[in-house]
Chain A
Amino acid sequence: MSTADSARQLWEADATKILVVLAAIYATYLLSGLVLGYSLRGQLNSIASLTFYIGVFATLALALNLHWGYTGLFNIGVVGFMAVGIYVMAFVSKPLYGSGGAAQVGGLGLPIPVGILAGMVAAALLGFVVALPALRLRADYLAIVTIAMSEIVRFTFLSSTFQQFQVPHTLAGDWTRVGFGGGSGLILDFPDPLLALIDVLGLSTVYDGLVGLVGTVVPNNPDPIVHSLVYGLVLLGVVAGYFWLLKRTGESPFGRVLKAIREDEDVARALGKNTGRFKITSFMLGCALMGLVGILWLMGQGAVTPNFFRPRLTFFVWIALIIGGAGSNTGSVAGGAIFAAVLYQGPLYFQNLVTSVFQPGDAPGSFGPAVAPLIANFDPVPFLLYTLDSVRQLQLVVMGVVLIWLMHNRPEGMLGHRKETAAAIPLVGRSEQGERTDADAVGTDPTPAGDASGGERDE
């Protein structure tokens, strides 16, 4: 058996892994909800938000994988690119000031797709500016530059200087009031993007039908449930798209040079590769993808505030990537899903469950009153309540410990090292070349990316 064949099998096993992981996650959520008597509405809502977070973290992990796993660029400024994505998108697509609504500032009033494109381009351009020093700096210096950049971005959107200002919006020289809203945030008052998309695709009747269907089981206001479920599905579609794009990038001469850069940049240069160009291209593409996730994450939320983009969100993405294993796209998706389900949503879900089932009383307001009864008369209840109430902080402690544990025990992540072949055609033994093409189910299309996405859908 050739390496390529076994690699293929490995890939298939990996695809299975993703599905098993996802199935396990959903089953656990549904079952625990069922056992503890969650309402159907609650179940559907938790599934929708779970799907949402799986979607955003998987896409972010994939984009980061392009930077770190493929190219070896240590980017810890992920939030900066996300912020630029959504803010520029809002700037372009918010309706003009004074066209009604409560918004303090307007935008340029251009269509949403234009805004999305502009957001991605802006994120890529910021990536270009940051990648210039990346060409010559050590990995850890780039880390510090990127995180400093993400903070500069956050300060910029926070500052009152750019809260509102005037820009010309017609050739005639009419000025309009725009801005980033400062610390109080920016209202995203463009039409609902999901409904607009459904409209464009001509699927409105299908969507309405779905609302009606869900309405038969959840009679009271089914609309938001359907909306968030469908949005989650769209995000999973985006995950598939990112996966396809990155797999295709990796399995190409371009990806081969990236792989070589990551292993030994001097060798790539000695072989005549302008490694700087490859690094910049890869970095910009990843940044654009991060910008898009920023847009997808927030454009349906009604508003955006700069402090959403604190550096810890970047580290969440890193944890997701490391769980799955840097270098592997499959690992990135699995890592994103596991992070979202277990570390990000899990503790809150657990808190919700416990609270709704046991209906505990009020937790003590601080650590002192929480431990005092424990020490004085071995009463653990206040401490447990405080712990439950502090899940949001403790989950970050857990994340930190998980990260340390991973670096000690599984630095290469769950799925191990990347074994994907960096070529646009299968690199197999010469004698087997002929047989392989015949035996291959998709023989007419020799691109592995073709089978990849196909394989995923088949499963």
Chain B
Amino acid sequence: MSDADAGADAQGRSRPEVTDTPLRVEGMSKHFGGITAVDGATFEVERGTLTGLIGPNGAGKSTTFNLITGMLTPDAGTVSFEGEDITGLEPYEIADRGLVRTFQIARELQEMTVLENMMLAPKGQRGERLWRSVLPVARRDVVDQETELLDRVWEILEFFEIEHLAEEYAGNLSGGQRKLLEMARALLTDPDVLLLDEPFAGVNPTLERRLLDHIHELRDRGYTFLLVEHDMDLIMENCRHVVVMHQGRILTEGTPEKVKADEEVIEAYLGGDV
């Protein structure tokens, strides 16, 4: 696929007919035994923006992520994506609709090379049907598609500037490189909204800058991001909309300025364990 295609792709992404809030969470709750991990969380993510989800340790951010992406099922409330109720769908069904996540601890597939990791991600691979991959004539199709995919993979590797690592086993990458790989891999699934779970944890400042630049560039191309982050300053500087969680509840949300001024937020952070 050429650059022009990629551009068209990005344009095609801005669908005017659907609402401007692809992801909505309403009244979502989750209990583990006696503990309420998420308590009636309600928020929205606006199209083409970076939305930050912050809060102290144990605020329920990761659980929120797991609930949105189907890794866990909420006890109450709904998650809707592009106007469709996706509450309780299987993770793969949610990912298939264009809502894709990364993990807090980068979960690269260690014994697969960077290229294999990347090739895994794209949707609609014909060769994922066993018979197509095995039968002699049908396999030709598969091989053709693989060749196309490989081109796309190279483009994205180059975008993230990790093409020199292409043949490395993912297990041999540094922490920061794994984060890049994970984001690149998620991007290959052709998502509309990307959920990044602490993408900057354990990443050195130079790489953090690079990652941020990539995220901003992708946002400009029409992607939507929801970031879980620990580092309040980072979120305040980069996000247009910020959601603050504390003890499972949404404390407040709004622009960074509004959130910064909020007494409760200051309380939560200074009184909390950060």
Contacts and interface: CB of A to CB of B under 8 A. Distances in A.
A430 B154 contact: yes
Interface stretch (A167-175, A329-337, A416-424): A416-424
Contacts of B154: 430
Given A273-B92, A430-B166, A267 B111 contact: no
Interface size class of B (residues with CB under 8 A): 35 or more
B92 A274 contact: yes
A270 interface: yes
A445 B257 CA distance: 61
B18 to A, nearest CB: 20
A215 to B, nearest CB: 41
Interface of A: 2-4, 245, 248-249, 252-257, 259-260, 263-264, 266-275, 278, 281-282, 285, 417-418, 421-425, 427-430, 446-447
A217 to B, nearest CB: 41
B71 A249 contact: no
B127 interface: yes
B167 A272 contact: no
Given A266-B71, A271-B185, A430-B163, A425 B147 contact: yes
B91 interface: yes
Nearest to A255: B133
A274 B91 CA distance: 9
Nearest to B167: A3
A270 B91 contact: yes
B112 A263 contact: yes
A2 B167 CA distance: 8
Interface string B138-178: 01001100110010001000000001001100000000000
Interface of B: 69, 71, 90-93, 95-96, 100-101, 103, 107, 109-113, 115-116, 119-121, 123, 125-130, 133-134, 139, 142-143, 146-147, 150, 154, 163, 166-167, 185-186, 189
A123 to B, nearest CB: 16
A248 B147 contact: no
Given A248-B134, A423-B119, A446-B143, A253 B128 contact: yes
B95 A272 contact: yes
28 contacts: A2-B167, A3-B167, A249-B130, A249-B133, A253-B133, A256-B116, A259-B112, A260-B109, A267-B107, A270-B95, A271-B92, A271-B121, A271-B185, A271-B186, A272-B95, A272-B96, A274-B92, A274-B93, A418-B111, A421-B116, A423-B115, A424-B133, A424-B142, A425-B150, A427-B113, A427-B119, A428-B167, A429-B166
Contacts of A248: 133-134, 139
Given A423-B146, A424-B146, A259 B163 contact: no
A253 B121 CA distance: 10
Contacts, number: 132
Given A254-B133, A270-B91, A427-B167, A260 B113 contact: no
Contacts of B133: 248-249, 252-255, 424
Contact of A424 (B90, B123, B139): B139
Given A252-B133, A259-B116, A427 B142 contact: no
B242 to A, nearest CB: 25
Nearest to B170: A263
From DSSP, what is the main secondary structure of chain B's interface residues? helix
Given A269-B95, A424-B142, 16 more contacts: A3-B113, A3-B167, A253-B142, A254-B129, A256-B120, A264-B107, A268-B92, A271-B120, A271-B186, A272-B92, A278-B128, A285-B130, A422-B116, A424-B127, A427-B113, A429-B167
From DSSP, what is the main secondary structure of chain A's interface residues? helix
Contacts of B130: 249, 254, 281-282, 285
Nearest to A2: B167
Nearest to A428: B167
A296 to B, nearest CB: 20
Contacts of B100: 270-272
B142 A266 contact: no
Contacts of A267: 103, 107, 109
B69 A270 contact: yes
A281 B127 CA distance: 13
Contacts of A422: 112, 116
Contacts of A425: 143, 146-147, 150
B92 A269 contact: yes
Nearest to B135: A248
Contacts of A254: 127-130, 133
Contacts of A4: 167
B145 to A, nearest CB: 8
A253 B131 CA distance: 11
A264 B189 CA distance: 17
B95 A271 contact: yes
A63 to B, nearest CB: 15
A331 to B, nearest CB: 15
Contacts of B116: 256, 259, 421-423, 427
A272 B123 contact: yes
A252 B110 contact: no
Most buried by A among B71, B133, B163: B133
Most buried by A among B96, B126, B128, B163: B128
